[in-house]
């Protein structure tokens, strides 16, 4: 209850921050996109990670306001970056499964795109498997409507929930994000390696892009590249940072 009350205040007093984590093309190591990740700059507790307040925000309904705020802020930022000539091709924003249940997502996203002026082709929304699989028919309809706005859709944390492959095939989704839990064991853990190979093959055969999260070591990036994974994100490439620390002008120095 107390955290919920504080969160309300955090929104009103602008204590939330959007951090951006770089996403690199594994083929040539270029920075190609960013993922927006929310933080709470608490006056006493310091920078609070989303894992500590998103679940509470979801239970209290505040999540709709938080996600709308993050979407608005990050779309404005992306608009600015593009205006400055940043070679970024996408901004990824997380969307809570709770927003799916409430069916107000379409109107919210349309509003933000209108307000910020960001070309929807640069926006990617990340949804989790469970958001989509809980009520597949409804989710399918909502995803198709979102796609009509001209944005792209990604499944986040793929492999941690349950997916019906039959349903996955019908989803208007352009990307699968391999969960960091599978990347952690690469390249030595044989189970992780097998799972990652299969997910990459699955995504490719369905015409989707594959994006791996949680890359902390160069060996992991190399394995993923060898297996045909398109994009990589993780501490090895760069941590989530405030907007002014995102250095899109730097030439790629990382070589796999």
> What are the residues binding ligand C2E (CB under 6 A)?
21, 37-38, 49-51, 54, 67, 70, 94, 96, 126, 156-157, 180, 213-216, 233-235, 240
Interface residue with Mg ion among 6, 72, 124, 157 (CB under 5 A) is: 157
7 alpha-carbon distance from chain centroid: 22
Position 192 contacts Mg ion (CB under 5 A): no
**Burial category of 244 from C-beta neighbours within 10 Å (exposed 0-12, middle 13-18, buried 19 and up):** exposed
Give me the sign of the Cα torsion angle 116, 120, 123, 125. positive
Instruction: Return the number of the residue (73 or 227) whose C-beta is nearest ligand C2E.
Output: 73
Instruction: Return the number of the residue (6 or 139) whose C-beta is nearest Mg ion.
Output: 139
- How far apart (Å, rounded) are the C-alpha atoms in residues 130 and 143? 14
- Show contacts with Mg ion in window 202-241 (CB under 5 A): 213
Return the bridge partners of 48, or none: 40
Question: Which residue in the shown chain puts its C-beta closest to ligand C2E?
Answer: 234
Interface residue with Mg ion among 6, 67, 72, 126 (CB under 5 A) is: 126
3-state secondary structure of 23: strand
Position 94 contacts Mg ion (CB under 5 A): yes
Interface residue with Mg ion among 156, 158, 183, 196 (CB under 5 A) is: 156
**Burial category of 121 from C-beta neighbours within 10 Å (exposed 0-12, middle 13-18, buried 19 and up):** exposed
Half-sphere exposure of 86 toward its Cβ, with a 13 Å CA cutoff?
22
Instruction: Return the number of the residue (69 or 248) whose C-beta is nearest ligand C2E.
Output: 69
Binding residues for Mg ion, how many (CB under 5 A)? 5
Give the footprint of Mg ion on this chain (CB under 5 A).
94, 126, 156-157, 213
């Amino acid at each position: 209850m107390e955290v919920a009350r504080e969160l309300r205040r955090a929104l009103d007093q602008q204590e939330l921050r959007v951090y951006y984590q770089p996403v690199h093309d594994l083929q040539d190591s270029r920075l190609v996109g960013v993922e927006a990740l929310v933080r709470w700059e608490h006056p006493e507790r310091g920078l609070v990670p989303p894992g500590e307040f998103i679940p509470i925000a979801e239970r209290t309904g505040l999540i709709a306001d938080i996600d709308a705020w993050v979407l608005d802020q990050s779309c404005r930022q992306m608009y600015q970056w593009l205006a400055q000539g940043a070679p970024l091709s996408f901004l990824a924003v997380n969307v809570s499964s709770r927003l799916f249940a409430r069916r107000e997502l379409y109107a919210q996203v349309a509003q933000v795109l209108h307000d910020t002026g960001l070309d929807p082709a640069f926006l990617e929304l990340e949804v989790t498997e469970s958001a989509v699989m809980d009520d597949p028919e409804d989710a399918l309809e909502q995803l198709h409507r979102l796609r009509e706005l001209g944005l792209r859709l990604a499944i986040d944390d793929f492999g941690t929930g349950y997916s019906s492959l039959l349903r996955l095939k019908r989803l208007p989704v352009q990307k699968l994000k391999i969960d960091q839990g599978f990347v952690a064991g690469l390249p030595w853990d044989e189970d992780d390696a097998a799972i990652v190979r299969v997910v990459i093959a699955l995504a490719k055969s369905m015409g989707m892009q594959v994006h791996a999260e949680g890359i902390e070591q160069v060996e992991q990036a190399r394995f993923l590249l060898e297996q045909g994974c398109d994009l990589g994100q993780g501490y090895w490439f760069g941590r989530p940072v405030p907007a002014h620390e995102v250095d899109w002008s730097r030439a790629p120095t990382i070589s796999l």
